[in-house]
């Protein structure tokens, strides 16, 4: 009998349905569902895991948080403890009758580490089992069939790389988290988390907010003119754009009395815009974010679609389809849908397939559809599948041809310009509706034409601060700075939201706690807030993956780095305590009282234990506002657009969404769901 280990239940079911050669039977042992069938002529039992089934932890002796034990924690041995006990027991039961075990978890470092956890359990149950690895990038019948025909050996280097990451993140995160939390006297559920990837990422977000707060607006003027040539009307703007010098603005202002202008120049050119490159993980998440999805939610949905066998593996760095990918087969599959049929026909009728190509990577192929859904999907799943399918078709489509027109209009000695765009042939834009493009069609005009000035406008404005980072934007920055991996970046973003360091919205606004942690660490331990250390450790873990270094070497080297960082922090302990205490007081302030100007604070009544917003000038000022009395809440970094005080982010104990709204009764700001907090199956474990 062969025992097949899948990463999750959905994947186990898909493997059984696609490879089963006999009637599929199922059995439930507690919460674990098991599939039985014949595969490759052999009786097979498919047992699902739920991500990692063992946790890496510190020994129980370190359970108590105190400064004395921090140095010992740096060099302490870590222990791997079974966590999903039901799955472990099922594996033990069926391993006793197995002569062969096939690891069919996701083929990446994390998936390999999860597979080796199962291997260790099987070895303890029965010593003479032979182990194999199935390698696939999609859960289709064809690819799974090939993978099970060409079984490989499990790769211990891949697993060691993932486990090195788990151990390093735990050591660095646990030691520094405890130090900062103890310094700030924030223990229990209010501990202050620090992490190898988390803290540099948070610092980037905080730095942008600091830049916005320090920003000083500058006044400028814009000059717009509405022109006509016969019945044709179009607009133009002063060619230099924004004007910051008052003398120049005053000179341009005098043009408002002019009645005519001259069309001095007309330039036209045809531009070919190449189709987008195939989706890698970062590109997909950025596009999903632009389409209205939060990054964690988009990752959860695409993982579900992969497990169901509808799309390829979602964690990839590649932007180039491999020669082995049967593009024609995917086109034929998509052509069965009325939504894609005409686009597929157009691609096939061109006679040749020339997909776009970005950077190549030796992991999985780019994200692409593999099969039309044969079971109902939710509206969000449908939209993500459509995004992936249309991106795939766009990469095979013709370039878009666009006419660009630029005009130069002279009013006295000043140039005004106008730019127009018109699509001649939409090409890939026709199928990829997620790429926003607006035409600005100008009338047909010739040089030297006299023009009438219909309207002359002077607009006075101020410069605005740089925008907050978006979820999609921060992922690209993390990738460029080698912060985390394609698999861990979305989870890190989710972790920052759950720990209330940033707002649970598409715009990433840091909380006062985030400022307190990063600004103080930057002064005391800049290597922890910068990207250099994290990037170096990522490179070292890559060496483990390639077999160039051992897990122990990399972990031990990191222990020495953490030891030095801790020593430096300990020397400045009193300074850190003072800075953290002062900064953390700000987290309880909503803003200024509209009556007295005092600080509005969150207060919990000593008598009734009810929470409410009260003025810091009490008893002189009795202004107050109600707060929800149940559920979890914290003061949001987001500001109410009506009253200017901080809103709250609130979640009830029995619902999966977080809501953001203003608690000021004078404001009728709609309560808005901003993020799902449903936790996925755990793959990465660390204290921070």
Catalytic residue list: 313
113: phi then psi, degrees, rounded to nearest 5: -65, -40
With contact defined as beta carbons under 8 Å apart, do 415 and 396 qualify?
A: no
Q: How many CB atoms lie within 10 A of CB 316?
A: 25
Rounded Cα distance between 601 and 598, Å, is 9
Per-residue buried b or exposed e for 112-121, using 16+ beta carbons within 10 Å of the residue's own CB:
bbbbbbbbeb
Rounded Cα distance between 361 and 204, Å, is 27
With contact defined as beta carbons under 8 Å apart, do 489 and 496 qualify?
A: no
Find, among 316, 314, 302, the residue nearest to 364 by Cα. Answer: 316
With contact defined as beta carbons under 8 Å apart, do 624 and 636 qualify?
A: no
Question: Could you identify the residue written with the tokens 């129980």?
Answer: 60
Rounded Cα distance between 385 and 379, Å, is 10
Q: Under DSSP, is residue 605 helix (H, G, I), strand (E, B) or coil? A: coil
The H-assigned helical ranges of 266-316 are 281-290, 295-307
With contact defined as beta carbons under 8 Å apart, do 154 and 107 qualify?
A: no
Residue 103 host element (H or E): strand 100-104
With contact defined as beta carbons under 8 Å apart, do 688 and 173 qualify?
A: yes
Q: What is the 3-state secondary structure (H, E, C) of 579-596?
A: HHHHHHHHHHEEEECCCC
Rounded Cα distance between 517 and 496, Å, is 13
What token pair was written down for 273? 């815009």
What token pair was written down for 630? 């149940």
Per-residue buried b or exposed e for 28-44, using 16+ beta carbons within 10 Å of the residue's own CB:
eeeebbbbbbebeeeeb
With contact defined as beta carbons under 8 Å apart, do 590 and 616 qualify?
A: no
With contact defined as beta carbons under 8 Å apart, do 426 and 403 qualify?
A: no
Rounded Cα distance between 559 and 122, Å, is 32
Rounded to 10 degrees, what is the CA torsion of 107, 111, 116, 118?
-110
What token pair was written down for 457? 């406008």
Cα angle at 678 between 675 and 683, to 5 degrees?
120
Rounded Cα distance between 108 and 99, Å, is 25
Q: How many CB atoms lie within 10 A of CB 449?
A: 16
């Amino acid at each position: 009998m062969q025992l097949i280990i899948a990463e999750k239940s959905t994947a186990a079911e898909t493997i059984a349905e696609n490879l089963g050669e006999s009637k599929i039977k199922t059995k439930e042992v507690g919460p674990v569902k098991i599939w039985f069938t014949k595969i490759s002529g052999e009786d097979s039992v498919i047992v699902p895991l739920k991500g990692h089934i063992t946790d890496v932890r510190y020994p129980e002796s370190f359970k108590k948080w105190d400064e004395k034990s921090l140095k010992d924690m740096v060099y302490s041995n870590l222990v791997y403890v079974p966590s999903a006990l039901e799955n472990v027991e099922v594996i033990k039961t069926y391993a006793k009758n197995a002569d062969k075990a096939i690891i069919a978890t996701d083929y990446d470092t994390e998936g390999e580490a999860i597979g080796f956890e199962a291997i260790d359990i099987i070895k303890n149950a029965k010593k003479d089992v032979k182990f194999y690895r199935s390698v696939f990038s999609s859960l289709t019948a064809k690819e799974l069939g090939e993978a099970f025909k060409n079984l490989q050996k499990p790769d211990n280097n891949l697993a060691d790389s993932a486990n090195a990451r788990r151990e390093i993140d735990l050591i660095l995160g646990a030691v520094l988290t405890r130090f900062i939390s103890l310094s700030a006297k924030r223990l229990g559920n209010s501990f202050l988390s620090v992490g190898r990837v988390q803290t540099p990422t948070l610092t980037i977000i905080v730095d942008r907010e600091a830049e916005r707060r320090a920003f000083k607006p500058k006044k400028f003027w814009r000059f717009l003119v509405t022109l006509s040539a016969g019945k044709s009307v179009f607009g133009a703007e002063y060619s230099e754009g924004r004007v910051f010098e008052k003398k120049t603005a005053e000179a341009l202002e005098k043009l408002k009395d002019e009645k005519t202008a001259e069309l001095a120049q007309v330039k036209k050119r045809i531009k070919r815009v190449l189709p987008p490159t195939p989706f890698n993980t970062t590109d997909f998440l950025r596009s999903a974010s632009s389409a209205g999805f939060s990054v964690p939610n988009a990752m959860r949905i695409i993982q579900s679609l992969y497990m169901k066998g509808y799309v390829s593996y979602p964690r990839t760095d590649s932007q180039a389809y491999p020669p082995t990918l049967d593009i024609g087969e995917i086109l034929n599959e998509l052509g069965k849908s009325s939504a894609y049929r005409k686009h597929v026909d157009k691609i096939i009728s061109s006679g040749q397939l020339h997909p776009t190509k970005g950077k190549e990577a030796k992991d999985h192929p780019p994200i692409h559809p593999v099969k039309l859904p044969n079971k109902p999907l939710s509206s969000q799943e449908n939209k993500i599948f459509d995004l992936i399918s249309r991106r795939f078709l766009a990469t095979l489509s013709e370039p878009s041809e666009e006419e660009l027109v630029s005009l130069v209009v002279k009013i006295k000695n000043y140039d005004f310009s106008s730019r127009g765009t018109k699509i001649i042939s939409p090409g890939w834009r026709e199928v990829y509706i997620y790429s926003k493009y607006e035409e600005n069609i100008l009338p047909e005009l010739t040089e030297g034409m006299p023009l009438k000035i219909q309207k002359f406008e002077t607009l006075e404005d101020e410069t605005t601060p740089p925008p907050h980072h978006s979820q999609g934007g921060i992922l690209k920055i993390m990738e460029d700075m080698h912060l985390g991996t394609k698999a861990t970046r979305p989870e890190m973003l989710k972790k920052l939201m759950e720990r209330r360091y940033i707002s649970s919205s598409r715009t990433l606004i840091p909380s006062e706690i985030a400022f307190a942690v990063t600004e103080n660490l930057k002064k005391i331990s800049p290597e922890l807030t910068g990207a250099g250390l994290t990037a170096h450790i990522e490179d070292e873990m890559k060496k483990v993956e390639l077999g160039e270094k051992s897990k122990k070497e990399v972990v031990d080297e990191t222990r020495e780095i953490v030891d030095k960082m801790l020593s430096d922090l300990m020397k400045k302990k009193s300074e850190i305590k003072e800075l953290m205490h002062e900064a953390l007081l700000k987290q309880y302030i909503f803003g200024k009282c509209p009556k007295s100007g005092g600080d509005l604070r969150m207060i919990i009544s000593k008598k009734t234990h009810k929470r409410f917003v009260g003025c810091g000038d009490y008893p002189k000022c009795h202004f107050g506002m109600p707060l929800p009395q149940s559920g979890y809440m914290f003061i949001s970094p987001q500001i109410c657009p009506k009253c200017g005080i901080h809103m709250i982010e609130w979640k009830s104990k029995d619902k999966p969404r977080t809501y953001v709204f203003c608690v000021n009764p004078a404001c009728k700001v709609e309560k808005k769901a901003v993020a799902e907090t449903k936790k996925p199956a755990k793959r990465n474990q660390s204290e921070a």
